[in-house]
Amino acid sequence: MIETSFLYYNFGVRDVVGTRSEYKGNKTIIHVRPTRTLCRCPHCHSYTLLKNGTRERQIQTLPIGSRRCYLKLTNQRYKCTSCHWDGWQKIPGILKGKSYTYRFAQHVIDLLRMGTIKAVANHLGVGWDLIKSIHKDYLNKRYKSPSLKGLKRIGIDEFAVRKGHVYETIVVDHDTGRIVYSHPGKDKEALTPFWEMLKRRKITLEAVSCDLSPAYISAVMEYQPKAQIVLDHFHIMKLMNEKIDALRRDLYREETDLNKRKVIKGVRYLLLANGTDVMDPLHRTRLENVLVVSQKVCKGGLSLSQN
């Protein structure tokens, strides 16, 4: 017989008693049975419970030295005839719907502070997926609702996950660098819960930076009308470069004079280069030539830079 107190103090599992232990290779299996039966419905508290089948469960718990350790038990299912609740008897210390104890999950998190998921999985002799899922659950619980206190300046962006098939929208606090919100999708709807959260907490933003997505811009104007919209330098330059390049292509196609065509050809890099490159005398002469030949590109560049 393995005492209830031994199981509680070592494995954090309550209301069970050990009947026997079994040793298989590198595994220690402790057979346990619950010391209580469920009398009242956890939902409506009536005494009208009926037994509704059992299942064998093997629950991973803290290792003993280098041996993996499991608790084996028969879990009872109940059904309430008053409210029709139907569920398994809960064993305190075993996480609901999981095949490991609360202490085991805690141990994994402690080890992850010192090593990678792969190293922890190897050390505990379990699969990478199990460690990953414990870590994910922990991060979800710990960071699900981050503090928005003092939030003034944010950045919105989306990124592709799973080889670009799925998008995730994220919001970053520019002052702390923390991610304060993340949601699947890259449209206006992906941000709706975030705006509502700000409204509930009466947070007025000073500035919001985002890319040129009309969906994001209109959402900021609707939900945070007082916030300044800051457009990303990279995206503006990208748009400007695309426009100048399109003008250069049009000009090349329209130009009938072969000599002028030669001047225009191959100057894409020069037109899009930054100031330092253009100061090179050779580059500068070529650029000036192309600007003389192509008044349109020159004007296009000017009007874009003024906008």
In the bound state with Zn ion, the residue whose beta carbon lies nearer, of 44 and 212, is 44
Instruction: Find the shortest distance in angstroms from Cβ 18 to Zn ion.
Output: 31
Q: What angle do CA 267, 265, 242 make, to 5 degrees?
A: 55
In the bound state with Zn ion, the residue whose beta carbon lies nearer, of 13 and 49, is 49
In the bound state with Zn ion, the residue whose beta carbon lies nearer, of 19 and 48, is 48
In the bound state with Zn ion, the residue whose beta carbon lies nearer, of 12 and 87, is 87
Instruction: Find the shortest distance in angstroms from Cβ 76 to Zn ion.
Output: 16
In the bound state with Zn ion, the residue whose beta carbon lies nearer, of 84 and 178, is 84
Instruction: Find the shortest distance in angstroms from Cβ 45 to Zn ion.
Output: 7
* Contact assessment for residue 236 and residue 267, using Cβ atoms and an 8 Å cutoff: no
d(CA 38, CA 79): 11
* Contact assessment for residue 83 and residue 97, using Cβ atoms and an 8 Å cutoff: no
Residue 120's CB is within 10 A of a number of other CB atoms, namely: 24
Instruction: Find the shortest distance in angstroms from Cβ 43 to Zn ion.
Output: 4
Rounded to whole angstroms, what are the CA distances from 289 to 250, 276, 282, 298? 17, 18, 11, 11
How large is the greatest C-alpha to C-alpha distance in the chain, in angstroms?
100
In the bound state with Zn ion, the residue whose beta carbon lies nearer, of 43 and 136, is 43
Give me the residues paired with residue 212 across strands.
none
Q: Is 31 left (phi over 0), alpha (psi -120 to 50) or beta?
A: beta
Cβ contacts of 123 within 8 Å, gap of 6 or more: 111, 115
Instruction: Find the shortest distance in angstroms from Cβ 78 to Zn ion.
Output: 9
Q: What angle do CA 98, 99, 100 make, to 5 degrees?
A: 95
Instruction: Find the shortest distance in angstroms from Cβ 98 to Zn ion.
Output: 24
Instruction: Find the shortest distance in angstroms from Cβ 83 to Zn ion.
Output: 3
Binding site for Zn ion (CB under 5 A): 41, 43-44, 80, 82-83, 85
Would you give the DSSP letter of residue 94?
A: B
Where do runs of H (alpha helix) occur along the chain?
A: 4-11, 102-112, 117-124, 128-143, 188-200, 214-223, 233-254, 258-264, 268-272, 275-278, 281-293, 295-306
